[in-house]
């Protein structure tokens, strides 16, 4: 029998970092359609599939790996507060940098290029640069444009009025984090059968959403937004890989079959319902079978930075007619610029922020130390540690085991 995922996956030797970088570049290639006028002004991939562009495929891959890695992270010993603190550090600081860079560096230069002066930019009555950050900072994008710019772009009707058209997916990513956080709080992630049923339920809801067989509005208002199901489904599939890693075989022949089936579904239909999961199996297989690519991130994890900076850079380039230089020059310039921004973002913002993942203010440490004994007494009365998967129960059981071991050694 081939190795299972649990046996074969090495968290220190895999190519997930490389694949996320590659997926980020797939998003760039896809968006070059509407933002630069390539591929007939449409997202790359829409020429083959009526269901999803190449960018959408890449985002599904991001969500799949997030579902796998974030579930494993939540199954650890960290509290829900520590879990959310780490997720906030990973998403928000770099995103805020992207918003500020767009509003106060890229947009003013583009305005000068478009109008020939700075008159009307800083005091714009609509879509002010000063409200761009505030209206978007919590991921729910409430202001797409700045100072009503973009009217002179040749592709304004498609991409000219949005300074970061990729960032809208981040809200769904964080919603998935919230789901995992609370599933862990209530012990669901400690029972893989219950957690697996929830994940399968999400995947089924997505299939029904895109099949058209059921009026999802009649079930729940939450289901009227098809993107909730579309993004949660690959995330849930990643959850299944985390829960059932001892059952999933990493087989070369299955990987070849999976990529073939995925391409068939993408080209002929069924991608959102079932086809995308075959690609996700292939991605995990590739991540495990190419462990030497783990060195790809030795200079930093640039995938997130590329994702949040690429669209603003592409929009910025359009103001200077970069697309007129041709497909190759356009992508080369954008790739270099995106890497520079991602490098700065990682080393100046992202990595320093993540270094605070275990940080606790001294005053809060003092409060926690003072409150822990009475809280433990309350928990001791409320929680039966033999039937609980909480951190408190785990700690008490570990203390009992240590005491029993000590008694045995004394005897």
Tokens for 142?
């409430």
Task: Look at residues 313, 310, 338, 323 and name the one whose alpha carbon lies nearest to residue 153.
Answer: 323
Instruction: Tell me the whole-structure pTM to 2 decimals.
Output: 0.93
Burial of 317 (0-12, 13-18, 19+ CB in 10 A): buried
Q: What is the pLDDT of residues 233-277, one digit of tens each?
A: 999 999 999 999 999 999 999 999 999 999 999 999 999 999 999
Q: Where are the domains of the chain?
A: 5-354, 363-410
Quote the distance between the C-alpha of residue 251 and its chain's center. 27
The pLDDT, as a whole number, for residue 159 is 63
Position 71 scores a pLDDT of 96
Q: Name the stretches of the chain with pLDDT < 70.
A: 156-159, 410-411
Residue 156 is predicted with a pLDDT of 66
E strand or H helix at 62: helix 54-74
Cβ(207)–Cβ(226) under 8 Å?
no
Strand partners, 4: 249
- Terminal Cα distance for the chain, rounded: 46
- The tens digit of pLDDT for each residue in 96-105 reads 999 999 999 9
How far is it, in rounded angstroms, from Cα 184 to Cα 179? Answer: 9
10 Å Cβ neighbour count for 144?
17
């Amino acid at each position: 029998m081939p190795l299972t995922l649990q046996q074969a996956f090495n968290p220190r030797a895999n190519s997930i970092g490389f694949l996320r970088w590659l997926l980020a570049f797939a998003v760039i290639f896809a968006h070059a359609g509407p933002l630069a006028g390539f591929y007939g002004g449409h997202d790359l991939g829409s020429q083959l599939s009526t269901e999803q562009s190449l960018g959408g495929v890449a985002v599904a891959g991001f969500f799949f790996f997030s579902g796998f890695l974030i579930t494993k992270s939540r199954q650890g010993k960290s509290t829900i507060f520590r879990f959310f603190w780490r997720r906030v550090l990973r998403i928000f600081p770099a995103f805020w940098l992207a918003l500020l860079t767009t509003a106060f560096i890229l947009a003013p230069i583009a305005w000068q290029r478009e109008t020939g002066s700075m008159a009307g930019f800083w005091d714009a009555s609509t879509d002010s640069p000063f409200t761009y950050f505030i209206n978007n900072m919590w991921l729910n994008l409430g202001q797409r444009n700045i100072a009503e710019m973009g009217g002179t772009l040749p592709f304004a009707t498609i991409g000219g009025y949005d300074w970061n058209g990729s960032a809208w997916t981040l809200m769904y990513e964080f919603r998935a984090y919230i789901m995992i956080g609370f599933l862990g709080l209530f012990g669901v992630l400690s029972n893989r059968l219950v957690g697996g049923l929830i994940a399968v339920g999400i995947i089924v809801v997505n299939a029904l959403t895109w099949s058209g067989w059921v009026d999802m509005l009649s079930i729940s208002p939450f289901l009227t937004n098809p993107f909730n199901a579309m993004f949660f489904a690959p995330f849930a599939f990643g959850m299944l890989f985390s829960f059932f890693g001892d059952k999933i075989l990493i087989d070369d022949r299955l990987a070849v079959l999976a990529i073939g089936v995925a391409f068939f579904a993408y080209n002929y239909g069924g991608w959102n319902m079932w086809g995308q999961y075959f690609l996700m199996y292939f991605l995990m297989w590739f991540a495990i079978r190419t462990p030497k690519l783990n060195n790809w991130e030795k200079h930093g994890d640039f995938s997130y930075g590329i994702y949040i900076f690429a669209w603003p850079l592409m929009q910025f380039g359009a103001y200077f007619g970069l697309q007129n230089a041709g497909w190759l020059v356009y992508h080369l310039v954008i790739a270099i610029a995106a890497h520079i921004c991602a490098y700065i973002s990682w080393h100046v913002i992202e990595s320093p922020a993540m270094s605070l993942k275990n940080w606790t203010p001294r005053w809060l440490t003092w409060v926690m130390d003072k409150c822990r004994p009475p809280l433990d007494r309350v928990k001791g009365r409320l929680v039966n540690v033999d039937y609980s998967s909480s951190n408190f129960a785990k700690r008490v059981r570990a203390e009992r085991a240590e005491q029993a071991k000590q008694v045995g050694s004394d005897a």
